[in-house]
Amino acid sequence: MDGEELTEQETALYDRQIRVWGAGAQRRLSKAHILVCGITGTIAEFCKNIVLAGVGSLTLVDDRAVTEEALSANFLIPSDENVCAGKTLTELCRDSLKDFNPMVRVSVEKGDLSSFGAEFYSKFDVVVVSCCSFTTKKLINEKCRKLSKRVAFYTVDCRDSCGEIFVDLQHHKYSKQKREETIECELHYPSFEESISIPWKALPRKFSKLYFAMRVIERFEEVEQRKPGELSIADLPAVVKLKKELCVAQSLNESHIPNVLLERLVTDTREFPPVCPIIGGILGQEVIKAISGKGDPLKNFFFFDAMDGKGIIEDVSGKP
């Protein structure tokens, strides 16, 4: 991804950030190709950040039309109904993102991401998915891992005022500064399926409750083929019942998944707009670190809950 030297125009435009992470890191960013599936308020914030950072290209996939929910959280969508008429979410966001940085190529790909072959993903250096089913996340992650080149894979989900990011960098080498010394490091990441297959009882006692709650939500989606709360808040009893079953199967005390947390995730499935820039900002920061090879990357889950204002990193891999 090192490629050619930066042009004079790029050097002038990105002068401030080059001073932060160096010309080499900026050069790698300018040659990076990013794929994003599922346009949400959180993803909009992420896209803004990496476009401003100066990635080479950004491809958007989401054929949905604009909804009231999308308007409430996605600042890239124009408020003018005449502008929105007949356009998909990605088309509207593409037009807005181009205004942030004309030097970044922003394009739209139509279709179902899960139906694309592995060769499609080989065109990208980073794949980010949101609004996808549990099965689709696993499928896309597997396709990325089968490629001869390394493709960094991320999932991001935001429900109510809670957010989750998953990271798979496969085998990642990077450098970091310790005082005046540059240290070369490497990390090995498990796939999404490998991570969530680790028995709950094998995880530390003081583990993020949001991790377990999100796995309950995923199981509901697998069984019902839809998101809990999508049709009615009457889904809550079924979700609580599913939690009890999973806790028994995983030998986990039910107190690790508070019903009040599940209630928040089920009764308000929409993103809480103030949380979007937080999760989107963290995701953008992590993608930049993965591309540039500078700084300690997140391994391999990040959780945020606005109720306590805390962000937590959990390593669900069982490996150093």
Number of domains the chain is built from: 2
Q: What is the CATH number of the domain that holds 125?
A: 3.40.50.720
Confidence of residue 66 (pLDDT cuts 50, 70, 90): confident
Confidence of residue 3 (pLDDT cuts 50, 70, 90): low
State whether 149 and 180 are in the same domain.
yes
State whether 180 and 97 are in the same domain.
yes
Q: Which two tokens stand for residue 37?
A: 């599936």
Q: Does position 222 have pLDDT exceeding 80, yes or no?
A: yes
State whether 116 and 248 are in the same domain.
no
State whether 24 and 156 are in the same domain.
yes
Confidence of residue 114 (pLDDT cuts 50, 70, 90): confident
State whether 34 and 87 are in the same domain.
yes
The CA-CA-CA angle for residues 43, 48, 51, to 5°, reads 120
Asked whether the beta carbons of 166 and 192 are under 8 A apart, the reply is yes
Q: Does position 303 have pLDDT exceeding 70, yes or no?
A: yes
Report which of 105, 192, 116 is spatially closest to residue 153, judged by C-alpha positions. 192
State whether 234 and 296 are in the same domain.
no
Q: Does position 246 have pLDDT exceeding 60, yes or no?
A: yes
State whether 242 and 288 are in the same domain.
no
Q: Is residue 139 part of a domain?
A: yes
Q: Is residue 2 part of a domain?
A: no
Please write down the long-range contacts of 96-101, taking CB distance under 8 Å and 24 or more positions apart: 97/47, 97/48, 97/51, 97/58, 100/48, 100/51, 100/52, 101/13, 101/51, 101/52, 101/54
State whether 123 and 236 are in the same domain.
no
Range of the domain at 253: 196-267
